[in-house]
Amino acid sequence: MKKNDLILQTTTKVVTFIIIIFAIHLFFAGHYTPGGGFVGGLTTSAALVLLLLAFDIKTVSKVIPLDYKKVAASGLLLAILTGLGSFIFKVPFLTHTYSYFNLPLLGKTSLATVVLFDLGVYLVVVGVTMTIIQTIGESE
């Protein structure tokens, strides 16, 4: 049954970018303001779910060819590796550090290694949520 979903699909094409940009903003804002890896990941997967609602599951997996189980696994690996990285500097597990840098465009910015751990959380959340939704959606 092919439905005439022109309005939904056109709006989805515009709105998905807004949601993903907002998710990236939430992800990077997490250190000083509300936000972080978990909310960013959930918002990103909300954008992907919107794509799944407007188009069918084959089209979306053709546009975004990601195996979400591998995304979750690589996020977990990244989180563990940032924890293990602290052993190189002879400090306890999961010790994080930060420092100030003068970046060319942004000016004085503090870069923290917690962002890498947060990226792991982000990938795990996106991977797990999309795996759950695709598994439920595919089963008849």
Partner 1 sequence: MTAISDLIIGIIILMGALLTVVTMIGLIRLPDTYTRSHAASKSATLGVLLILVGCLLFFWIKDGSINGQLLLGIVFVFITSPVAGHLLGRAAYYSGSPVWKGTVRDDLKDKQKKTKHV
Binding site for partner 1 (CB under 8 A): 1, 3-4, 7-8, 11, 14-15, 18, 22, 25
CB of 11 to partner 1, least distance (A): 5
- Beta carbons within 8 Å of 87's beta carbon, 6+ residues apart: 93
d(CA 46, CA 122): 13
Strand partners, 102: 108
Residue 16 or 113 having the CB closest to partner 1: 16
CB of 85 to partner 1, least distance (A): 33
Q: Minimum distance from CB of 8 to partner 1 (Å)?
A: 6
**Please, what is the minimum distance in Å from the beta carbon of residue 119 to partner 1?**
22
- Nearer to partner 1 by C-beta: 12 or 129? 12
Residues forming beta bridges with residue 110, ordered by sequence position:
100
Residue 94 Rama label (left phi>0; alpha psi -120 to 50; beta)? left
Residues 119, 137: Cα–Cα separation, whole Å:
27
**Based on CB atoms, which residue is closest to partner 1, 18 or 84?**
18
Selection from 46, 55, 1, 5 nearest residue 22 by Cα: 46
CB closer to partner 1 out of 25 and 96? 25
